[in-house]
Copies of this chain bind each other. A is one copy, B any other.
């Protein structure tokens, strides 16, 4: 009899694991994917761009439909929710929402790919129907339907991180009046405040009302109360971060770690043999600090899933960890970071120097050139690069990738200066902005 693997969750982490496993074992592995919504294998990261009109149709965000996956001999069961896992009996209890019945399914191997959910601040009114997270395609559809129904002239975004920024940008295209409320002193908490300030100024220049150091107090019909003020809002978007959906694993007795994300070894296996975890529900390890972190990003989820799939398929793969690279944009302002910011570097016990420079994205003498502000951190003594942050215009953000590669390789600032990077006047000044920043640290 062939082996059966059950995958709980059909998006980035889970479906990547399933398809990768299928590629490696064509005949002797039964693969069942349980997905509680009706969507699998989609790009949740695309939701803000769909809301903003840059993606024509919902379907465009779907990488593969259940039918396409079934044609690859993956038994995709949508609207089937895993309710409990019995590790001793190797069985999952499932609720089939379509037929309103419960059943049990046995497994030889199991993958937790249960994702993350938007954090919901504990304030009155948080469960009102005009309050929306943006984590799943279902979330996104409900939000867009609501926005289309209501006049949507006033939008309040709670939280000035990636999702907050991207949703704010999306609603600028609706011509809505947008307020972003953030409890921190500055937006984009993954950046240091001196860099976050640039993002806030960019938001303000696009007419977004940004209120930092401001607590959300209550949500009412058509009104948000924050920092003592009443702000009009037909729609409230939650951009306050996400938390791992790990209850199912925890209830089954699987240990969790950082921010309740499921603890895994380097093969993405939990403490239980043949039970794996991938994606936003699973922990990662920072290659810079060596410490566990929870980094709920699509890139990481796909990498987790690939590693799990190879291992399920009888191969051997390990996940080497993350440096923590991310990017986003707000209208014409690009934002990126990698590695540790000042707070994280201090928390990890590093003593470091930092350097911030302003450069251009193309040769300065070209009639059209943008700017890039780069901040870089390097360990004192060794000179090893610890992280970088970029805020700039078109072409600025992806420059972070060189720093990500440098972090992975453990390069010093001096070695980064020596890198042989591509130069031509339309692409870069002679010294790339990341090299100019690194020079400040040598």
Contacts and interface: CB of A to CB of B under 8 A. Distances in A.
Interface of A: 12, 43, 45-46, 49, 54-56, 60-61, 162, 166, 287, 297-300, 302-303, 319-320, 322-329, 334, 336, 338, 363, 365-368, 395, 397-402, 404-406, 408-409, 411, 415, 418-428, 430-432
Contacts of A336: 422
Given A45-B363, A54-B366, A56-B367, A422 B338 contact: yes
The 7 A-B pairs of least Cβ separation, nearest first, read A409-B409, A405-B405, A327-B422, A60-B365, A299-B423, A325-B420, A323-B420
B398 A420 contact: no
A322 B367 contact: no
A327 B55 CA distance: 31
Given A398-B395, A409-B411, A420-B299, A426 B49 contact: yes
Question: Which of A46, A338, A398, A406 has the largest count of B CB atoms less than 10 A from its CB?
Answer: A398
Contact of A401 (B56, B297, B401): B401
Contacts of A430: 12, 43, 45, 298-299, 302
Given A365-B43, A399-B398, A405 B419 contact: yes
A365 B55 contact: yes
A329 B365 contact: no
B422 A397 contact: yes
Contact of A45 (B320, B399, B400, B424): B424
Given A54-B425, A299-B420, 14 more contacts: A12-B430, A43-B363, A45-B430, A49-B363, A55-B366, A61-B365, A299-B421, A299-B431, A325-B421, A398-B428, A401-B419, A404-B421, A405-B409, A405-B411
B427 A327 contact: yes
9 contacts: A45-B363, A303-B418, A325-B422, A328-B424, A338-B422, A395-B395, A397-B422, A401-B421, A408-B415
B405 A402 contact: yes
A285 to B, nearest CB: 11
A189 B61 CA distance: 40
B415 A46 contact: no
Contacts of A299: 420-421, 423, 430-431
Given A49-B425, A329-B426, A324 B420 contact: yes
A2 B360 CA distance: 39
B424 A327 contact: yes
Nearest to A56: B367
Contacts of A420: 287, 299-300, 322-325, 338, 404, 408
